[in-house]
């Protein structure tokens, strides 16, 4: 809000007068001339606030009339959370099943090695079998460690479940009784996350490689 | 040479990851392993007996890995227990925070068996040198 040029001089003059009066120990009330000068601006400001309030009120009423939102918050979002949890559970079961089989195969690899050791050391099959058993053991390790995708994808999905839950709660709050009492300041509807951890690496997120981490740790004496 | 009978506590909220770490440790010859699903369940276990080594995730419900690490370092009896963090958190700030809290090693998921072996070897080599 800028005062028209012709008012500028008058405004400065009124302010000077006020300061002089304050310095002289006079009344702290704004001089009538100043109030008069500022009044049109105050009115414009209040008109803007009133207009914004009206638009906000209309928006909230429209929002509440839209029953699609109620359906989304009431059914679709809990359903989405349920499905995401199911995905985490399915990958968990699959990973455990794979790890079960890896355990069994490790036993087989050990048995092959034990049987090979009963062969005479001059028998060429002995060394070959021991080597094969070792390769088998290493590959099974890789297979086991590949199952860490379940942890990583699970962490990412759990973050999304928490986000959906927060948005769902905020929507229900907005659609519920609180929406009619906009006079009272509502509490922050979406709680701030308790941890600000970035979580598993995803495309577009700047992360540190193990090598960079090692260098950083070394510089810190770890 | 490290004591293959040393008592290890593996802390992670994902059962698959606990199992993977347990398997890899087993393959390295360490079989005396206990599991906990977060810092809150790990803490009484640490209090009740003496572990030689802790492998922990960071982001867990209840008590996080960094809180567990700080609690360990703040405890007179178990304060010197070596702690290896195995976590998906790969931000510089987190790595620095862990280092400042007194972590002995930091592995970023996804990781491999060779990295786990290398970090464990390094941790115990340093401890042996300091002794």
A210 upstream amide cis, omega within 30 of 0: no
Residue A37 confidence (pLDDT) above 70: yes
Residue A100 pLDDT: 95
CA Rg, chain B, in Å? Answer: 13
Residue A4 confidence (pLDDT) above 70: no
Residue A121 pLDDT: 92
Any B CB within 8 A of A204 CB: no
Residue of B nearest to A137 (CA): B27
User: What is the reported pTM?
Assistant: 0.75
CB contact under 8 Å between B14 and A150, yes or no, is yes
- Indicate the angle between helix axes A149-175 and A77-118, nearest 10 degrees: 170
Any B CB within 8 A of A133 CB: no
B120: three-class secondary structure by DSSP: helix
Residue of A nearest to B57 (CA): A151
CB contact under 8 Å between B90 and A147, yes or no, is no
B105-108: strand order across its sheet: B33-36, B8-11, B53-56, B83-87, B105-108
Contacts of A169 (CB under 8 A, 6+ apart): A189, A190
Interface predicted TM-score of the whole assembly (ipTM), two decimals: 0.85
CB contact under 8 Å between B109 and A151, yes or no, is yes
CB contact under 8 Å between A197 and B94, yes or no, is yes
Cα dist. A73→A62, A64, A156, A161, A171 in Å?
16, 12, 22, 14, 6
CB contact under 8 Å between B20 and A103, yes or no, is no
Q: Which residue shows structure tokens 């109030």?
A: A35
CB A164 within 8 A of CB A81: yes
pLDDT in tens, B67-125: 999 999 999 999 999 999 999 999 999 999 999 999 999 999 999 889 999 999 999 99
CB contact under 8 Å between A209 and B108, yes or no, is yes
B35: three-class secondary structure by DSSP: strand
- Residue of B12, B13, B16, B91 for testing the chain A interface, max A β-carbons within 10 Å: B16
Any B CB within 8 A of A90 CB: no
Q: How far apart are CA A63 and CA B34, in angstroms?
A: 53
pLDDT in tens, A81-126: 999 999 999 999 999 999 999 999 999 999 999 999 999 999 999 9
Residue A147 confidence (pLDDT) above 80: yes
What 8-state DSSP symbol labels residue B38?
Answer: S
Percent of chain A past pLDDT 90, that is, above it, reads: 46
Q: How far apart are CA A164 and CA A199, in angstroms?
A: 17
pLDDT in tens, A164-211: 999 998 888 877 754 454 444 445 555 555 557 888 888 887 788 999
A111: three-class secondary structure by DSSP: helix
Q: How far apart are CA A123 and CA A153, in angstroms?
A: 48
Residue A41 confidence (pLDDT) above 90: no
């Amino acid at each position: 809000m800028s005062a028209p040029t012709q008012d500028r001089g008058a405004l400065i003059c009124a302010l000077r007068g006020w300061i002089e009066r304050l310095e002289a120990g006079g009344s702290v009330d704004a001089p009538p001339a100043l109030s008069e000068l500022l009044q049109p601006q105050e009115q414009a400001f209040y008109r803007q606030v009133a207009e914004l309030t009206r638009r906000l009120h209309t928006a909230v009423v429209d929002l509440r009339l839209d029953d699609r939102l109620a359906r989304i918050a009431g059914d679709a979002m809990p359903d989405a959370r349920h499905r995401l949890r199911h995905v985490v559970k399915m990958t968990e079961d699959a990973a455990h099943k794979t790890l079960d089989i890896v355990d069994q195969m490790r036993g087989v690899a050990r048995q092959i090695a034990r049987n090979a050791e009963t062969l005479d050391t001059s028998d060429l099959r002995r060394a070959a079998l021991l080597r094969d058993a070792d390769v088998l053991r290493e590959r099974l390790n890789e297979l086991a460690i590949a199952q860490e995708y379940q942890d990583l994808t699970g962490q990412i999905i759990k973050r999304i479940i928490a986000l959906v839950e927060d948005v769902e709660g905020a929507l229900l709050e907005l659609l519920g009784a609180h929406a009619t009492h906009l006079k009272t300041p509502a509490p922050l509807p979406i709680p701030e996350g308790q941890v600000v951890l970035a979580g598993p690496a995803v495309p577009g997120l700047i992360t540190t490689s193990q090598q960079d981490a090692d260098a950083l740790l070394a510089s810190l004496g770890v | 040479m490290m004591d293959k009978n040393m008592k290890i506590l593996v802390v992670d909220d994902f059962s698959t990851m606990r199992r993977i770490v347990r398997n890899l440790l087993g393959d390295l010859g360490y079989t005396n392993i206990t599991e906990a699903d977060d810092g809150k369940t790990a803490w009484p276990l640490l209090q009740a007996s003496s572990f030689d080594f802790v492998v922990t995730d960071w982001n867990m419900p209840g008590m996080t890995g960094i809180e567990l690490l700080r609690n360990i370092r703040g405890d007179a009896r178990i304060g010197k227990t070596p702690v290896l963090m195995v976590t998906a958190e790969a931000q510089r700030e987190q790595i620095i925070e862990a280092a400042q809290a007194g972590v002995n090693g930091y592995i970023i998921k996804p990781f491999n068996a060779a990295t786990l072996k290398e970090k464990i070897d390094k941790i115990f080599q340093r401890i042996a040198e300091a002794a």
